[in-house]
């Protein structure tokens, strides 16, 4: 039997439900700030739930109308439940960048977040409320004019309450939002509604943007020499979710680099990512723009590093074991390894990064000129870190087998993550081995750099994707490694002592990738900036 409820009462009920339940991540975050004495004043804090409630009332007063509410309310409840789960369980915030991640994710990545806890949240926060709402018949009255008048009065009253709160505590709210800007991205559902609107607006706007071609003047200065000698071959490895804090080569007290530590490599100690998510960092590192002036819209409508290399006549291939190149490799040869039917390297439909080695070996066996091969790793992508490496690489135990990270001990979580780094270390060593096998034919080099880092429960934060301005160092301080064959070093006239100094002391970032690779491949072009080539000062 359905119960009848007037539209204003129904709106207030939905507003109350969102205030109490769908914003529990916000209440938890505020309680943490209060406990750390970063927020003070009980009077001010008590007004925050009131402010959120009247905000929810305004939002749903504008959204709830006859007929359409039967679609809008369930959709918002389901979407908000997913957002609440992510914010509460992983400590993420839902801003524009996170919405881009959601839009650009793939099925494999999305399913890795499924867990019993997630289903429990959906049953408690979405299914049960929707069943109860299904039993309610909303009475909007007979007059549309009367309905609009009531809605106007409700919004006006809400604004009066907001004005009263502002009059009493404006300075407190201004200070809170200034010092903790993440709070605006934690108010559910306005966070994902505003982020979604911004992404949609960008997609519509960019459909009319012209595409900019760059670096058409590029010339491979090594091409003529390669006809008489050996071609330059660079394997550029794009890592996933590796953080420098857990790298033995960067001072970590565990041996997470048992393979590379035996190689003549350089590990760069002070490297920062352009973003905290793949959707930002990968396009940024291949763009000529720097972190400070990077614009995602411009990047999507402008050629990047791989295009400039192609203009110069360099052979370019992208081999992907992740979620795609984010547009970076749209105009070069691409090989996709995910979905391969190798039972050893691709259990459960997801492939370990070892699947990249076979196509890499095939590419190296048929080098005809200067070549850049990009490998996009799955690396340490969470939350299912245990699925990123074969069990033989589980050096550190116990491990965390679930995506519900808070159910694992901190020890097990770090063990599992570190195991994934060991496997990446093995893959990089194998890449170097393949380049050594071809040393009689090519001047080989490898450059590895992670796209971003990862939080493993520090300060209650998990995974990545935090707004860059407030992101912890675990998400932005990343490993970078280079290996050069003796003939490559000789060809580039690189001074070993100088490079060691750069690796130890220079502050580097994704800004350096574009120009360093052009320098390594001996490309002459107006788009090249020697000041951003981390090896330029070391060429004799």
In a domain, 450, yes or no: yes
Residues with Cβ within 8 Å of 128's Cβ and at least 6 positions away in sequence, in order, are none
Q: What is the pLDDT of residue 9?
A: 95
Per-residue DSSP letter, 127? I
In a domain, 349, yes or no: yes
Instruction: Assess whether 14 and 133 both reside in one domain.
Output: yes
438: nearest Cα among 505, 485, 482: 485
Beta bridge partners of 372: 234, 316
Last residue of a domain, one of 184, 204, 224: 204
Instruction: Assess whether 315 and 272 both reside in one domain.
Output: yes
* Distance from C-alpha of 374 to C-alpha of 307, rounded to nearest angstrom: 13
Q: What is the pLDDT of residue 320?
A: 97
Q: What is the pLDDT of residue 224?
A: 58
Residue 61, CA distances (Å) to 9, 14, 156 in order? 11, 10, 11
pLDDT band at 154 (very low <50, low <70, confident <90, very high): very high
Q: What is the pLDDT of residue 390?
A: 97
Instruction: Assess whether 155 and 85 both reside in one domain.
Output: yes
Instruction: Assess whether 32 and 166 both reside in one domain.
Output: yes
Q: What is the pLDDT of residue 410?
A: 95
Query: Residues 93, 51: contact at Cβ < 8 Å?
Result: no
Domain hosting residue 391, numbered range: 234-538
Angle at 219 between CA 213 and CA 223, to 5 degrees: 140
Instruction: Assess whether 179 and 306 both reside in one domain.
Output: no
Average pLDDT, the chain: 94
The tally of domains found in the chain comes to 2
Q: What is the pLDDT of residue 400?
A: 96
3-state secondary structure at position 463 = strand
**pLDDT mean over 194-199:** 93
Task: Give a three-class secondary structure readout of 262-307.
Answer: HCCEEEECCEECCCCCHHHHHHHHCCCCCCCCCCHHHHHCECCHHH
In a domain, 216, yes or no: no
In a domain, 270, yes or no: yes
Could you read off the pLDDT of 81-129 as tens digits, one per residue?
999 999 999 988 999 888 988 888 877 778 888 888 899 999 999 999 9
Q: 296-313: string of b/e by CB count within 10 Å (b at 16+)?
A: beebbebbbbbbbbbbbe
More confidently predicted of 534 and 95: 534
Does pLDDT of 379 surpass 70? yes
Instruction: Assess whether 327 and 179 both reside in one domain.
Output: no
Q: What is the pLDDT of residue 106?
A: 77
- DSSP percent split of the chain into helix, strand, coil, nearest 5: 55, 10, 35
In a domain, 408, yes or no: yes
Does pLDDT of 404 surpass 80? yes
C-alpha torsion sign, points 232, 238, 244, 247:
negative
Does pLDDT of 225 surpass 60? no
Q: What is the pLDDT of residue 108?
A: 77
Instruction: Assess whether 269 and 417 both reside in one domain.
Output: yes
Instruction: Assess whether 134 and 282 both reside in one domain.
Output: no
* Distance from C-alpha of 151 to C-alpha of 147, rounded to nearest angstrom: 6
**pLDDT mean over 284-304:** 96
**pLDDT mean over 221-244:** 86
Q: What is the pLDDT of residue 350?
A: 87
More confidently predicted of 171 and 206: 171
Task: Tell me if the bond preceding 465 is cis, omega within 30° of 0.
Answer: no
Does pLDDT of 146 surpass 70? yes
pLDDT band at 144 (very low <50, low <70, confident <90, very high): very high
Instruction: Assess whether 46 and 99 both reside in one domain.
Output: yes
Per-residue DSSP letter, 439? T
Instruction: Assess whether 130 and 254 both reside in one domain.
Output: no
Angle at 224 between CA 219 and CA 227, to 5 degrees: 135
Give the percent of the chain with pLDDT over 70: 99
In a domain, 371, yes or no: yes
Could you read off the pLDDT of 171-192 as tens digits, one per residue?
989 888 888 889 999 999 999 9
pLDDT band at 395 (very low <50, low <70, confident <90, very high): very high
Q: What does residue 335 show for φ and ψ, rounded to 5 degrees? A: -120, 125
534: nearest Cα among 263, 316, 226, 266: 266
pLDDT band at 69 (very low <50, low <70, confident <90, very high): very high
Could you read off the pLDDT of 484-531 as tens digits, one per residue?
999 999 999 999 999 999 999 999 999 999 999 999 999 999 999 999
pLDDT band at 1 (very low <50, low <70, confident <90, very high): low
Query: Residues 97, 275: contact at Cβ < 8 Å?
Result: yes
Q: What is the pLDDT of residue 340?
A: 82
Query: Residues 483, 248: contact at Cβ < 8 Å?
Result: no
In a domain, 220, yes or no: no
Give the torsion through C-alpha atoms of 161, 162, 167, 172, to 10 deg. 130
Query: Residues 164, 22: contact at Cβ < 8 Å?
Result: no
* Distance from C-alpha of 472 to C-alpha of 468, rounded to nearest angstrom: 8
Q: What is the pLDDT of residue 397?
A: 97
Residue 76, CA distances (Å) to 249, 385, 414 in order? 46, 31, 35
Instruction: Assess whether 367 and 506 both reside in one domain.
Output: yes
Does pLDDT of 333 surpass 90? yes
In a domain, 153, yes or no: yes
**pLDDT mean over 382-397:** 96
Instruction: Assess whether 270 and 364 both reside in one domain.
Output: yes
Q: Is 320 left (phi over 0), alpha (psi -120 to 50) or beta?
A: beta
pLDDT band at 42 (very low <50, low <70, confident <90, very high): confident
Beta bridge partners of 3: 136
Q: What is the pLDDT of residue 367?
A: 95
Does pLDDT of 327 surpass 70? yes
Q: What is the CATH number of the domain that holds 398?
A: 3.40.720.10
């Amino acid at each position: 039997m359905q119960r009848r409820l007037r539209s204003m009462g129904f709106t207030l009920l939905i507003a109350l439900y969102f205030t109490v339940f769908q914003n529990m991540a916000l209440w938890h975050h505020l309680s943490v700030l209060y406990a750390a004495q970063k927020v003070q004043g009980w009077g001010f804090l008590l007004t925050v739930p009131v402010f959120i409630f009247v905000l929810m009332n305004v939002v749903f007063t504008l959204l709830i109308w006859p007929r359409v509410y039967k679609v809008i309310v369930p959709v918002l409840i389901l979407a908000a439940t997913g957002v609440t789960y992510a914010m509460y369980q992983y400590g993420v915030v839902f801003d524009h960048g996170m919405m881009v991640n959601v839009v650009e994710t793939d099925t494999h990545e999305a399913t890795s977040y499924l867990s019993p806890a997630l289903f429990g949240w959906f049953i408690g926060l979405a299914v049960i409320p929707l069943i109860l709402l299904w039993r309610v018949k909303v009475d909007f009255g007979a007059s549309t004019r009367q309905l609009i008048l009531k809605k106007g009065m409700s919004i006006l009253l809400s604004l009066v309450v907001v004005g009263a709160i502002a009059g009493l505590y404006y300075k407190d709210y201004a200070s809170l939002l200034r010092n903790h800007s993440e709070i605006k991205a934690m108010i559910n559902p306005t966070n994902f509604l505003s982020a979604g609107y911004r992404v949609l607006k960008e997609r519509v706007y960019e459909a009319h943007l012209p595409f900019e071609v760059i670096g058409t003047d590029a010339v491979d200065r090594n091409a003529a020499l390669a006809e008489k000698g050996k071609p330059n071959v660079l394997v550029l490895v794009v890592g996933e979710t590796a953080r420098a804090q857990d790298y033995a080569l960067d001072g970590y007290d565990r041996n997470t680099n048992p393979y590379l530590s035996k190689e003549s490599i350089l590990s760069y100690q002070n490297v920062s990512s352009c973003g905290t998510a793949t959707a930002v960092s990968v396009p940024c590192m291949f763009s000529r723009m720097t972190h400070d002036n990077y614009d995602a819209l411009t990047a999507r409508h402008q050629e990047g590093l791989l295009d400039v290399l192609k203009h110069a006549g360099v052979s370019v291939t992208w081999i992907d074991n992740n979620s795609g190149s984010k547009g970076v490799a749209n105009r070069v040869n691409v090989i996709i390894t995910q979905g391969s039917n190798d039972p050893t390297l691709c259990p459960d439909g997801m492939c370990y990064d070892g699947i990249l080695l076979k196509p890499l070996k095939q590419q190296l066996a048929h080098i005809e000129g200067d070549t850049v091969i990009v490998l996009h790793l799955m690396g340490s992508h969470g939350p299912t870190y245990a699925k990123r490496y074969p069990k033989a690489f589980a050096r550190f135990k116990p491990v965390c087998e679930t995506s519900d990270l808070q159910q694992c001990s901190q020890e097990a979580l770090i063990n599992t993550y570190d195991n994934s780094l060991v496997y990446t270390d093995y893959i990089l060593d194998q890449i170097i081995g393949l380049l050594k096998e071809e040393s009689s034919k090519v001047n080989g080099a490898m450059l590895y750099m992670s796209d971003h880092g990862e939080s493993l429960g520090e300060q209650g934060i998990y995974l990545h994707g935090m707004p860059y301005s407030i992101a912890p160092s675990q998400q932005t301080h990343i490993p970078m490694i280079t290996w050069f064959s003796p003939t490559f070093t000789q060809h580039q006239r690189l001074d070993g002592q100088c490079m060691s100094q750069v690796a130890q002391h220079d502050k580097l970032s994704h800004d350096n990738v574009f120009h360093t690779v052009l320098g390594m491949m001996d490309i002459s072009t107006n788009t090249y900036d020697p000041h951003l080539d981390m090896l330029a000062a070391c060429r004799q």
